[in-house]
Amino acid sequence: MYPPPHPTRRTLLRGALGLSTAAALTACGADSTTALTSGDVTLALWTHDPGYEAFFEKGIPEADRLTDFRYHLKVTRAGAPDVVTKLLAQAVAGRGTPDLIGFEIGSFPRMLRGDIAERLLYDLTDDIAAVPGLKDDLLPARTAPFSKDGRVYAFDSDTPMVVYFYRDDLFDRYNMPKNTATWEEFAEVGARVHRDHGASMCVVSTVGSDAGQVVQSFQMLLYQRGGAFFDADQNLVLDSPEAEEVLRFLCDGLRTGFVIDISDYYGAAMQTALKQGRVIGLPMAIWYKNYGLMPNVPEQNGRWRVKALPRFEGGGAVTAAAGGTGFGVIKDKANTRAARDFLFKTWLTHEGQVRRFTETGYLPTRRSVYDDPRLSAARDDFCGGQRLFPLYRELLPQVPPFHQSPDQSILYDVLAGNLLRAYHGDLSPRQALKQTAADFRDQAGR
Amino acid sequence: MSTTTTAGPHRARSSWAPYLFISPFYLLYVLFMLVPIAVSLWLSLTEWVGLGTPHWVGLRNYRLLATDISFHRALGNTAVFVLVAVCVVVPLALLIAQALNTRGLRVRDLWRTAYFVPVVVSPILVALIFGLVFDRQFGLANSVLRALFGTGGVDWLGDPGWARVSIALVMLWRWTGYLTVFFLAGLQNVPRELYEAAALDGAGRLRTFTTVTLPALKPVTAFVVVTSFIGAAQIFEEPYLLTGGGPAESTLSVTMFIYRAAFQRQQFGYAAAAAVVLFVLVFGLSQLVNRLLGIGRATS
C-alpha cells in the first residue's frame, strides 16, 4: 500500500479550472423548474411604476394568509418599454426572467407578436373560470387589452375612464355652464372663452417624440364617439365616419382656440399652460389627476373638479378608457404557481381592489367592488372634496372595450404623423385617415 | 544532428509566439465583431419575433425594404443629416478652430472649454433643454423671435421641415466643438515657417488659409470628414430623444428605423436586413471618401 500522492500544483490548477467551469456552466443553465407549492418564496417582480411596488409590498400579509406561501418580493424597476425588452432578452438567454411582470398597455402589443405571449406568459383563463363568479365580475373592457385569441394573459391595474377635468373657480369666473350636454355646445362656449379670456377647454398633444401621447388625445374622443382602432380580431377599423367626425371636431377646435396644442401632457409646456390659466379643462383618464395635475399645479389644490364628458350629437358614450397596466405571470418557472396565487390574492380580491383605489387611485376592474360603500364615501381633496366614485360608478357601464394588435405601434407611428398634419391644416381629416390606413397597410406585416 | 533535433521545436515555438501574443485581440475581434456581423447577416434572411426559432425567408426582407416608403424616408433623412454633418458642421468646426488658434486670443482655454462642453453633456439633458427651447407655445426660441420680430409661431418640432432644421441645429451645437479639437490640434502642428514664407510672398489671410492652412490640415480634415460621415450616418440619439423620428417620419434615421423594427415591432429579421443595408452603404461610401481624400496613401 502506498499513501496517496500529494496533488501537484498542476493538478490543483486543473481541478480549480474544472470546478469553476462546472460552476459557470451551472450558472448559465436554465432556472430550476421544480414547482414550489408552499413555504417561503421570493418573487421577482418587474414594474415601471413604484406605486405598484408599494401596493404589492403591502399586499404580502393578505397573500400569506390566503395562500400556502410566505412571500418576499425582489423588485426590479425599468422604463415601460424596457421591461418588455429585458423580459425578451432574458427569455432568449433562458434565465433571469421575472415571476410577476407589469406591462404598460402600450408595450403589451409586443407580446402579441408571433407566439411570444403563449410561449412566455401563464394563461390565466382557466384560473379565472375556476373562481366562482369571477369571470362575470371582471370587466371585459379591461381584460380585452391583455387577451389574445380569447385567452387572458394579464390583469389590468385600472379601469382608466376618461372624464372631464375642469377648473371650477375659472368656470364660475367666466360664467360658463358646467352641465353642457354636448361637445358641440361645449365647443361654442370654448370658442367664446378663448376669445374673451385666452383660455382653452380641450388639449391635444403634439409631442413629436411620443407618438402615444399624440394618438391618445384623439383616441379618447374617438372611443367615446364609438369608433376604434382595431376590432376584436385585430383588424384595423380606424377609417370610419366616427373617426372623421372626431378629427374634424379637434381640427375645428384648434382654429377657434377651444382646443390648444400642447407639446407634452406632463412636461413644462403643460405646467405653464395650467399655471397661466391657458388650459382650464381637458378630457383625460382619471389617473391624470395624480400624474399630471397634482405634480404640475399643486397650488391649484381644491380648484379642480371632475365630470362626465359631454356627448357627441352624433352618438356614442360619455366616457372612454385610456391607459392601464396589466400584470402577468411567467410560465413554466418554479415560482409560477406562487406568482399566480399572489396575483389572485392581492390584485383581484375585493379588499385588494378597494385598497388599490384608496392607495393608488386606480379604479377596480371587478364590477362588484363598485358597490363598496367605502369607495363611494371617499372624498378627493384636490377636487375640492368632491366624491368622485359615484360618478365613476355611473360611467362604468359605458366604458368601451379596447382591443390591441401586434401592429399597434405601426398604427401609432403613422397615425401620429397624420394627426399632426391634420392639426396643421396640411391634410383634411378625411385625407389624414385615408393616408393613415394606406401607410398602415404598407408597413404592417413586413 | 542533435542540435537540429532540439532547435526544430524551439524554432517552431518561436515562430508561433508573435501570433499567440496578438491572438487575444483577434479572438475578441472575431467574437464581438465578426460573429455579430455574421449573425446579423443570417438573421436578415429570416423572420424572427425575438423568441423561438427564426424562419428562413431568404431575400424577402431585402425585397420588402426595397419597397418600404418608411425605409426610403429614413435613408433620405439620414442623407440630409450626413450632408449637414459634412458640409456644415465640419467647415464650421474648422473656422472656429482657426479663430481659437489666433495669436493673442484672451482666455483661450475658456473658449475652448465652452465649445467642447456640449459633447460631454448627457444626450438626455440635451433633449430636455432643446425640448424646452423649441416648444411651440412656450419655448425660448419662439419667445425670442416674438420679442425681436413680433412673430414666433414656428412649430420647431411639429412641422416636418422645421423638425429637420431643429435636429440639424442640435447636431451643430453638439458636435462642432468636438471636431474643433481635432482641427485645433492640426493647426498647432502647421509649421510657423510656412506662414512666414506666405507672408513674405505677400499672401493675404484668405490666400494663406487656402494655400497653407488647408493643405497642411488635409490628413486631419480627412479623418474628421470620414468620422463625421460615419457618425451622422448612424445618428440616433438626437432624433430619438427630440422628435422620436416624427412628425410623420420626417426625422426618422436609418438606425431609428432599425431600433423601431426590432424593439417596438419585434421584427428582428427585418431590422437585421436594414442594418446590413446600412453597414454596406456606410462601409462602401466611407471607402469612397477614403479614396477621394487619399487617406492611408503616402504623400510624395
Instruction: Compute the distance between CA of residue A207 and CA of residue A411 in angstroms, rounded to an integer.
Output: 16
Residues B86 and B235 in one domain: yes
Rounded to the nearest angstrom, the minimum Cα separation between A419 and chain B is 9
Residues B124 and B22 in one domain: no
> In the 8-state DSSP scheme, what is residue A77?
E
Residues B226 and B136 in one domain: yes
Q: What is the mean pLDDT of residues A409-418?
A: 93
Label residue A25 by pLDDT band (50, 70, 90): very low
Q: Which domain holds residue B198?
A: 69-293
Q: Which residues of B touch A91 (CB under 8 A)?
A: 51
Residue B16 resides in a domain: yes
Residues B6 and B111 in one domain: no
ipTM score here?
A: 0.82
Gyration radius of chain B over CA positions: 25
Residue B202 resides in a domain: yes
Strand order in the sheet with A304-307: A281-285, A162-167, A304-307
Amino acid at residue number A133: G
Q: Give the closest of B132, B159, B265 to A409, CB-based.
A: B265
Q: What is the mean pLDDT of residues A421-435?
A: 95
Residues B285 and B153 in one domain: yes
Q: How far is CA A66 from CA A60, A70, A377, B216, in A?
A: 10, 10, 28, 80
Which among B59, B138, B259 is the top mutation candidate for probing chain A, defined by the most A β-carbons within 10 Å of its own β-carbon? B138
Query: Is A169 strand, coil or helix?
Result: helix
Residues B194 and B258 in one domain: yes
Q: Give the closest of A116, A260, A263 to B135, CB-based.
A: A263
Strand partners, A315: A312
Instruction: Compute the distance between CA of residue B161 and CA of residue A237 in angstroms, rounded to an integer.
Output: 31
Contact indicator for A18, A71 with CB cutoff of 8 Å: no
Is residue A15 predicted with pLDDT exceeding 80?
no
Nearest to A317 by CA among A249, A376, A389, A401: A401
Chain centroid, CA B220 distance in Å: 15
Residues B25 and B101 in one domain: no
Q: What is the mean pLDDT of residues A57-79?
A: 95
Residue B115 resides in a domain: yes
Residues A284-337 have pLDDT tens digits of 999 999 999 999 999 999 999 999 999 999 999 999 999 999 999 999 999 999
Residue B60 resides in a domain: no
Residues 141-160 of B with CB under 8 A from A: 155, 157-159
Contact B266 A85 (CB under 8 A): no
The whole-chain average pLDDT of chain B stands at: 89
Residue B12 resides in a domain: yes
Residue B202 or residue A26, greater confidence: B202
Residues B247-281 have pLDDT tens digits of 889 999 999 999 999 999 999 999 999 999 999 99
Q: What is the mean pLDDT of residues B224-230?
A: 94
Instruction: Compute the distance between CA of residue A134 and CA of residue A156 in angstroms, rounded to an integer.
Output: 14
For residue A179, the model assigns a pLDDT of 87
Instruction: Compute the distance between CA of residue A270 and CA of residue A278 in angstroms, rounded to an integer.
Output: 9
Is residue B6 predicted with pLDDT exceeding 60?
no
- Show Cβ contacts of residue A375 under 8 Å, excluding neighbours closer than 6 positions: A354, A357, A358, A364, A369, A389
Q: Which residues of A touch B267 (CB under 8 A)?
A: 446
The neighbour count for residue A169, using CB atoms within 10 Å, is: 16
For residue A298, the model assigns a pLDDT of 96
Choose the weakest-confidence range: A243-252, B19-28, B82-91: B19-28
Contact indicator for A350, A369 with CB cutoff of 8 Å: yes
Contact A263 B131 (CB under 8 A): yes
Per the listing, cell 471618401 goes with: B289
A315: left (phi over 0), alpha (psi -120 to 50) or beta: left
Label residue A26 by pLDDT band (50, 70, 90): very low
Q: How many helices (H) and strands (E) does chain B have?
A: 16, 2
For residue B277, the model assigns a pLDDT of 97
For residue B2, the model assigns a pLDDT of 44
Residues B34 and B78 in one domain: no
Residues B84 and B34 in one domain: no
Contact B136 A261 (CB under 8 A): yes
Label residue A207 by pLDDT band (50, 70, 90): confident
Residues B37 and B92 in one domain: no
Q: Give the closest of B51, B250, B267 to A88, CB-based.
A: B51
Residue B23 or residue B102, greater confidence: B23
Contact B137 A113 (CB under 8 A): no
Start and end residues for every CATH 3.40.190.10 domain found in chain A? 39-159+323-371, 162-320+400-443
Percent of chain B residues past pLDDT 70, beyond the cut: 94
Instruction: Compute the distance between CA of residue A200 and CA of residue A136 in angstroms, rounded to an integer.
Output: 41
CATH no. for residue B232?
Answer: 1.10.3720.10
Contact indicator for A423, A261 with CB cutoff of 8 Å: yes
Cα–Cα–Cα angle for B157, B162, B168, nearest 5°? Answer: 90
Which among A413, A421, A431 is the top mutation candidate for probing chain B, defined by the most B β-carbons within 10 Å of its own β-carbon? A413
Contact indicator for A226, A317 with CB cutoff of 8 Å: yes
Residues B11-48 have pLDDT tens digits of 666 788 888 989 999 999 999 999 999 999 999 999 99
* Chain A, nearest residue to B127 by Cα: A209
Choose the weakest-confidence range: A1-15, A175-189, A368-382, A400-414: A1-15
Contact indicator for B156, B166 with CB cutoff of 8 Å: yes
Q: Is the minimum CB–CB distance between B140 and chain A shorter than 8 Å? A: no
Contact indicator for B248, A417 with CB cutoff of 8 Å: yes
Contact indicator for A224, A243 with CB cutoff of 8 Å: no
Query: Is A166 strand, coil or helix?
Result: strand
Residues B120 and B264 in one domain: yes
Query: So what's the architecture of A39-159+323-371 in CATH?
Result: 3-Layer(aba) Sandwich (3.40)
Q: How many angstroms separate the most distant Cα atoms in chain B?
A: 99
Contact indicator for A146, A328 with CB cutoff of 8 Å: yes
Contact A446 B132 (CB under 8 A): no
Is residue A9 predicted with pLDDT exceeding 80?
no
Label residue A29 by pLDDT band (50, 70, 90): very low
Instruction: Compute the distance between CA of residue A331 and CA of residue A68 in angstroms, rounded to an integer.
Output: 19
CATH of range A162-320+400-443; options 3.40.50.300, 1.10.10.10, 3.40.1190.10, 3.40.190.10 = 3.40.190.10
Instruction: Compute the distance between CA of residue A216 and CA of residue A199 in angstroms, rounded to an integer.
Output: 22
Residues 83-102 of A with CB under 8 A from B: 85, 88, 91-92
Rounded to the nearest angstrom, the minimum Cα separation between B16 and chain A is 24
Q: Which residues of A touch B46 (CB under 8 A)?
A: none
For residue B292, the model assigns a pLDDT of 84
Q: Is the minimum CB–CB distance between B137 and chain A shorter than 8 Å? A: yes
Nearest to B212 by CA among B230, B194, B226: B194
Residues B28 and B148 in one domain: no
Q: How many domains does chain B fold into? A: 2
Give, to the nearest 10 degrees, the angle between helix B160-188 and helix B218-233: 150
